Amino acid sequence: MTGFITVTSPPSPVLPVPVITADTTAGNAPLAVQFSSADSIVASPTGYLWTFGDGNTSALANPTFTYSIPGTYDVALSITNSSGTNVTTMTGYITASPAPLGAQPLPAFTADTTSGAVPLTVQFSSAPSDSMSPTAFLWTFGDGSTSVLENPSHGYNAVGVFDVSLRITNSSGFNTTTRTGYISTHSTAGTSATLPPGSTLTGNQISINLTGAGGDASFNGDQIIVNNLGGFDQIIFSTSGVGNTTGNLTGTVTGVLLVTPVMTASIPEGTATLQANISASAYDNGGDISFTFMGANESLNAAYGSLLGSGMNETALVFEITATGMDSITGSVLTITVPDAFRERNSGGIAVVWTHGGTSTVLTATYLGSSGGVSTYQITVPGGFSTFGVVGLGAVTSSSAPASPGSVSSVGGSSLSSTSDSWPVSRAEPVVGTQNVNVGGNSAIRQVTVTGTGVRDIVVTAFSRWGPPQGIPELDFPIYQYVEINPARYTTITSVTILFSVPQEWADGQEFSRDDFGLHHYTNGAWQSLPTTWVKTENGQMYFSAESSGFSLFAIGARNPGGNERVLASHSSETFGEVSGIPPDTPAQVSSAGPGHAPAPTKTAAVPPREDPVPGILVPV
């Protein structure tokens, strides 16, 4: 039968008909109102938009909103579905009245901005004011400053997170309102991987134009060294050999060391500083690295407290490092200084908490000493950049001991998850043993043999420096390379044999024989010369071994011309996660003296080309 069944499309939804209701429409400010759209006529809504008449909005279907300032307000509700959008406005729907006469004030305040880079100027506004007959105002801005103005402007010059409070007084008394962490400030420094004018980089083939570098380019052995480029203090290109043609330094890049300038940030005790030595397998021309210094916030403090337990005292500084277009970075060493007052108040030392990929990890912070009221620490970062927190630790107790050297603890979200060497955790007595380890990084240190407890899984990295960290004096005889050696995943170390190499070309330039070299160790506030032995000369490299009691900062160069220990400063040996050096009452072990030479230049960076710029690899024995 024709036309027996008729199928039609369902009707399209009609435009919504918004209906506004509220649990209250009048009252004294601050007035909390629960709004509802439940009585609206709408099919398949796709969006809501409330406007409350004071500049605030909400996209919820049934929001709650508080009116802090007395007044009469229009309320509008816009609902959208597939047919379109419709709006209902209720004129004068909400009335928030001033507090009755004789009542104490109920302070409320706003700010034109709540975050930004220092120096940050904030315009504060109080409300209500005349409606409550105020007789006095007192603002505290969280940085030690106050104001008695009704609507003050305040400048923040320090990096941090600040509580702001306002006390209002009238004839009936006074009340105070505090907004925790209301203002946050930060400072930012940036560096860019660039090339001097007239220079080129094609693949790993580099050509540095000396004229374009403006006198800030030179070479040392197989290294091309460029100073003051792209915001970096120094960029060192390791090559397979430097060509010195007319006006250009050329070579095949095998590794790169990026040295940032010393950056400063204010903390309550004074000034903290950060400098980064960043290693890369190639030069990412056009990439950028930014450093943002900020204060601690509640969420980070909660994560740090979960990770460190009762050992945590306070957070000194939080900073974020962001690398854009720098995919060749293989590792970094951070040098951080804090005022002695911070270290002395935190008797357990400091920890650096690295938050990366949603997980927080405790990194070993090696204490290098104190000079001029400033304490210096060094940290090796095992992976990518992210957020770092410098945390002060309390005194060690039996219930909350600090992490063992090289320990790693992680906290992701709200739960604590730990590796086998995590903090805090008890573990069985480690086994004494010896382990040979290939050394990762970009330095002249090739291999180490470590004797100690819990060294079966030890990993060792070493990064070169153009000079000692702030507060540590340079040696006054020729130095080929300063090196920071950082172990991880071990319990204690009792002795170390270090294998290192120096290019024959550099030795010839210094008129050194194989008997003129020595390795020097900075420990207990002084440089000590270590027993050093020539091993072999092969493929243009001279190989040596030296005996040490532990790891930290080393210098490769001439034997000590004085033939004895050089005590250049008086520092304590306090560490967090540092291997103990030679005890203060142990006689110095000194190699035989070599010939004296003129002092080395301030920056004697010489990074030998490495084929393994990666974290240390275990070698079975």
Which tens digit of pLDDT belongs to each residue from 483-518? Answer: 988 776 667 788 999 999 999 999 999 999 999 999
Range with the poorest average pLDDT among 87-96, 194-203, 370-379, 583-592: 583-592
Higher per-residue pLDDT: 167 or 421: 167
DSSP single-letter state for residue 17? B
- Rounded to whole angstroms, the Cα distance separating 406 from 372 reads 29
Q: Give the gyration radius of the chain's Cα atoms.
A: 32
Higher per-residue pLDDT: 603 or 293: 293
> Span 108-188: which CATH code?
2.60.40.10
Beta bridge partners of 419: none
User: 246: which residues sit within 8 A by CB, 6+ positions away?
Assistant: none
Burial of 4 (0-12, 13-18, 19+ CB in 10 A): exposed
Closest CA to 229 of 217, 241, 211: 217
Closest CA to 555 of 512, 595, 492, 606: 606
Burial of 9 (0-12, 13-18, 19+ CB in 10 A): exposed
Bond into 613 cis (ω within 30): no
| Structure-token pair, residue 352 | 């650096």
DSSP single-letter state for residue 505? H
- Rounded to whole angstroms, the Cα distance separating 63 from 34 reads 6
pLDDT above 80 (res 474)? yes
Share of the chain above pLDDT 90, in %: 26
In tens, the pLDDT along 265-278 reads 777 777 888 888 88
Predicted structure pTM score? 0.47
Q: Given this structure, which CATH class describes domain 21-97?
A: mainly beta
DSSP string, 370-394: EETTEEEEEEEE-S---EEEEEEE-
Closest CA to 483 of 240, 277, 237: 277
Phi, psi of 498 (to 5 degrees): -110, 125
pLDDT above 50 (res 616)? no
Secondary structure (3-state) at 613: coil
Which pLDDT belongs to residue 401?
31
Residue with tokens 């000034």: 271
CA distances from 453 to 14, 244, 432, 579 (A): 77, 49, 4, 12
C-alpha count within 13 angstroms, C-beta hemisphere, residue 412: 7
Which pLDDT belongs to residue 489?
63
Beta bridge partners of 462: 441, 485
Closest CA to 553 of 522, 518, 574, 526: 522
User: 188: which residues sit within 8 A by CB, 6+ positions away?
Assistant: 117, 290, 291, 292, 293
> How would you classify the pairing of strands 243-245 and 263-267?
unpaired
The pLDDT confidence band at residue 178, using thresholds 50, 70 and 90, is confident
User: Torsion-angle region of residue 134: left (phi > 0), alpha (psi -120 to 50) or beta?
Assistant: beta
Phi, psi of 310 (to 5 degrees): -70, -10
Q: Do 54 and 77 touch, CB atoms closer than 8 A?
A: no
| Structure-token pair, residue 511 | 């008129």
Q: Do 484 and 465 touch, CB atoms closer than 8 A?
A: yes
| Structure-token pair, residue 128 | 């209500």
The pLDDT confidence band at residue 567, using thresholds 50, 70 and 90, is very low
Closest CA to 265 of 243, 292, 247, 297: 292
- Which stretch of DSSP H or E encloses residue 425? none
Share of the chain above pLDDT 70, in %: 78
pLDDT above 50 (res 600)? no
Closest CA to 369 of 337, 392, 391, 393: 337
Which part of the chain is CATH 2.60.40.10?
A: 21-97, 108-188
User: 177: which residues sit within 8 A by CB, 6+ positions away?
Assistant: 106, 107, 108, 109, 165, 166
- For residues 494-513, one letter each, b for 16 or more C-beta atoms within 10 angstroms of the residue's C-beta and e for the rest, the string is eebbbbbbbbbebbeebebe
